[in-house]
Structure 1
C-alpha cells in the first residue's frame, strides 16, 4: 500500500498509517476507583501531545498511535452517546471453533519503524495513567519479511486505498455524533505451526485462497468449502464491503508462541462481524474457515476510535 494514496478526513485519527516495522497492541481495563475516569479522560486528551513528544525524536520513523474506547466506558469517559453500532465483542460459536470475547476498555495501536519509539510511548502513557488502569493484554508485533504472516503468506493485500479508504473506515453523516471515527475489532490468534508445516504448500494455498510464493489469487473452488480469502470477503446487493486490516505477526520461538494480531478498522461494525460469522460458522454452515484448524483466537474486543477533536475536547470538559 502506498501511504501517499491513503486519504482520510483531517480530523480522523491516523488509522491509515502505512504498515510499520514495529507495533505494540495494548488493551487496558479501567479500574473501579472514584478518580479513575477523570484520570483516563485527562490522559486521553493528552495522547496527541505524548505522540508528538515521542515522534519528534525521529521524524522519519512514521510513529503513530490510535486509541479506541470500548462500550462499557464510552459514556462515562466521553460523556456523549455511544456510536450506534458500538457494543462489546459478541462471541461467535461455530460447530468446531469459536471466537471469544475478552475484557478491555481502552485499545492503543502504537506503531513506528523503530521499536524504541513504541516502547517509549507506552512507558510515558502508562506512567500518566498510573493506578487508574490495569493491563489486560500487551502484544508486541513486528514486520516479517515482505509483509508476511508467520504462516508464510502475504497479509493485507485486499486493503482499500485512495478515495475508497475513507468510505470503508470513517463514519460519516449516517451517525453525526460519531462522524470522523472508526470501529476497530481486535483478535489475537495463536498458530499451531507444527500442524501447519505438516501440510503441503498446495494444501496451505487452498486453505488461504492465494499462492504462497507470489500472492496470486487462486480460482474459486468447485466445492462448497471456501478459502479463507473468500470467507473473509463480505458482499451483498450493494457490492463488496471493505475493512482496513493492520495485522502483524508476534511470537517467541523460545516460548513456542507464534501468532497474528488481527486489527480491523471499519466504518460499519457489522461488516467485520459478518466476516467473522462466515469464518467461524461457515457458509454454508459447517464449512468453516479451515485456517481456524491451525489458528486459534485467544482474545476478542470491539472499540470505537473517536475523532481527534472529540479526544481534545476531554481536556476542556
Structure 2
C-alpha cells in the first residue's frame, strides 16, 4: 500500500474476500468515519500482514460513483473521467443487473484466516458508518480453474502489459495510477452444465478443457464463444485487455456454486463493452452461451484510486 498505486496487480492468492458496503445515510458522522478508515487501510493492512509475512496479503479499495462525490467533497480531488454507476444490460434472454455498492474491499492472501482478521478489524473500525451488502469468500480451485472446470484468467495481461491495461495514465492525468473496477457475482447451474458433453462445453468457452488450448473463432455472424466475446478492440483494431482476479465460491451442502468476477481496467468502457457483447450478443441476439448456465446476481462499478489519494481522505 506504500506504492503510488494500490495492489490491483497483486499475484494470485489461495483465498480472497470480496466485501461490498454502502455508507449509512442516516449517520451524521458516517462520511467522516469512512474517510478516516480509508486513510488508515495501509496501517491496518500492515498490522494484519505482520501475522504472516509470507501470506501475500493485500487489499485494494474501490469507491463507487456517488460515494466518490460525498467522500471527496472539499478535498479538491479530481473526479475520474469515466466513473459512473454500473449500467444494467438487458439482452433478449439474460440481464446484467445493477446492485448497490459504495465501497469495495478486495482482500487477498494465501491464508483464509488473514483475510478474516483484516475484515474483522476493518468492520470494527467502520462500526455503523457502513452496512455490508455482499460478503463473498473465494478460493483458488486446483490449477486456477473455475467451478465449470476451465482455467480462468488465461487472457490476463502479463509483465509490462499489465500497467498499460490496468492503470489510468495521461488520458486522465489527475487520476493517473488509479483503476476502474467492476464486480459481478455469478451462480452456476451445475446440473445443466454437467449434462453437456465436454465438446459442447469447450465450444461455449472457446478453449479445450484439459489443456486450455484456444479454439478457432467461428465465422462472423455465428454465435461466438465466451473467449471471443470477451476480447475487446477499439475502432482502430487495437485490442484492450483487463486484469481479472476471479474466484470460485460456494457451498456444496447448500447447492451454491459460483464465480465472483472482478475486473480491473484502465478504461471502464472496455469492461462495459465486454459485458454488452456477452449479454446482448455480437451480433445482437447471439448472447454468450455461458450465461445459459451462469446468472449474474450483482453488478457494481468502482474506482480504485492511488494509495496517496486514500491517504488524503484522512486530512481535515
With structure 1 as the length reference, what TM-score do the two structures score? 0.96
> What is the aligned partner in structure 2 of residue 173 from structure 1?
170
Task: Measure the CA separation in 1 of the matches of 2:237 and 2:5.
Answer: 25
Q: Secondary structure at the match of 1:174?
A: helix
Task: Measure the CA separation in 1 of the matches of 2:141 and 2:124.
Answer: 30
Output the aligned Cα RMSD.
1.3
1:59 aligns with 2:53: yes
Instruction: State the shift of 1:176 in Å.
Output: 2.0
> What is the aligned partner in structure 1 of residue 97 from structure 2?
100
Q: Secondary structure at the match of 1:19?
A: coil
Of 215, 223, 226, which residue of structure 1 is paired with 2:224?
A: 226
Name structure 1 gaps, 5 residues minimum.
1-8
Instruction: State the shift of 1:238 in Å.
Output: 4.3
Of 18, 33, 44, which residue of structure 2 is paired with 1:50?
A: 44
Counterparts in 2 of 1:1-317, with a 5 A limit?
10-32=3-25, 33-79=27-73, 80-222=77-219, 224-236=222-234, 237-317=236-316
With structure 2 as the length reference, what TM-score do the two structures score? 0.96
Instruction: State the shift of 1:10 in Å.
Output: 3.8
Tell me which stretches of 4 or more aligned residues in structure 1 moved more than 4 Å.
none
Instruction: State the shift of 1:162 in Å.
Output: 1.2
Q: Secondary structure at the match of 2:45?
A: helix
> What is the aligned partner in structure 2 of residue 5 from structure 1?
none
Contact 1:209 1:217 in 2 (8 A): yes
Give per-residue Cα distances to partners, 1:91-135, cap 9 Å, x unaligned: 001011010000000000001000000000000000000000000
Larger displacement relative to structure 2 (227-236 or 204-213): 227-236
Contact 1:75 1:81 in 2 (8 A): no
Aligned pair count reads 310
Give per-residue Cα distances to partners, 1:256-309, cap 9 Å, x unaligned: 000000000000000000000000000000000000000000000000000010
